Structure 1
Amino acid sequence: MKDTKIDVRKIDIGISEEHRIAIAKGLSKLLADSFTLYLMTHNFHWNVTGPMFNTLHTMFMDQYTEQWNALDVIAERIRALGVIAPGSYDEYKKLSTIPGAVGTPKAMEMVALLVAAQEATARTARDLLPLVTEANDQPTTDLLTQRLDVHEKTAWMLRSLLEE
């Protein structure tokens, strides 16, 4: 995110401009991963087939609904730090650590791809914690902790479907 745009207004919330920009860059990566995960989950909800159709269709709907709501929280935290939140497919593609799914995978392959995407999103959130702690940014710490809880729990639930 080299074209980081800062609000014209001076922001004095007790976090240096340098920290605010660095945290916003990290949150932008989290937003990109979260959006990519949302899109993947919604796609799989639409296209899942097989004996576990109903279970997976419903589970994926719960997951993409939660992810959709999280996007706003992450983007609004970026804005509160005085930085423009990324909002295009091109930006997300550049920032995301999650590769897009190709074609229409079988149901259990969808589950495995979602496990990997949930884990990647958790890593992105966790990687930002040291900087946020250094900056004494409790709201972002809280946001990251909540996201970690969701992504780790969801990955565990999905992973359990892959066990024999």
Structure 2
Amino acid sequence: MSDASPLADRLNQVLADSYALMALTHSAHWNVEGPGFFALHTAFQAQYEELFTAIDEIAERIRAIGAYAVGGLGNLAEEAGLKEFKAPLSQEAYVAALLEANEKLVNDAAAARDFAGEIHDPESEDLMVGRITLHQKTIWMLKSFLK
């Protein structure tokens, strides 16, 4: 595939975003407090566990198109460029931070999806459609909590 490198760059961005979001979500899971603790603790766990599986799928797709997946915590964090937070935060602050990170991930996944469509790679395009769909649902849920 002649366009594997530009596609791999876009998929690596989604990989890095997903890894960073997983770490942020796991931190929120550990540290959230307050009246919504049980619901948020459970929701954050489901989110970071799903992200862990997705990360492997994205990295394996990058390898399948003949490129290499970005790795290393520092490299992933630098590539993702997501805002990190430190505990303690309010429930609302955790949710707002995760909302912002999910929105960035959706934007980067849309760029990868669109490029995959342009170069006629339906498998990568489909993978990104699935990621976007899941994160749009997560965004809806996080926004609903903040209302």
TM range (shorter): over 0.9
Alignment partners' CA distance in 1, 2:85 and 2:136: 20
| Post-superposition offset of 1:102 | 3.2
Residue 34 in structure 1 maps to residue 18 in structure 2: yes
Larger Rg: 1
Structure 2, unaligned stretches of length 5 or more?
A: none
Match of 2:50 among 60, 66, 69: 66
Runs of 4+ aligned structure 1 residues displaced above 3 Å come to none
What TM-score results when the alignment is normalised by the length of structure 2? Answer: 0.96
- Paired position in structure 1 for 2:110: 126
Alignment partners' CA distance in 2, 1:97 and 1:134: 26
- Paired position in structure 2 for 1:154: 138
Q: Which has the higher helix share?
A: 2
SS in 1 for 2:71: coil
Residue-pair matches, total = 147
Structure 1, unaligned stretches of length 5 or more?
A: 1-14
- Paired position in structure 2 for 1:6: none
| Post-superposition offset of 1:161 | 0.5
Residue 49 in structure 1 maps to residue 18 in structure 2: no
The alignment-based identity, stated in percent, is: 37
User: Retained in 2: the 8 A contact 1:97–1:120?
Assistant: no
Please list the CA deviations of residues 21-67 of structure 1 after superposition, one character each: whole Å capped at 9, or x if unmatched. 11011111100000010000011101111011101000101111111
Q: Which amino acid aligns with 1:24?
A: A
User: Superposed, which structure 2 residues align to 1:99-118 within 5 Å?
Assistant: 99-118=83-102
Residue 93 in structure 1 maps to residue 77 in structure 2: yes
User: Retained in 1: the 8 A contact 2:18–2:105?
Assistant: yes
What is the alpha-carbon root mean square deviation over aligned residues? Answer: 1.0
| Post-superposition offset of 1:97 | 3.5
What TM-score results when the alignment is normalised by the length of structure 1? Answer: 0.86
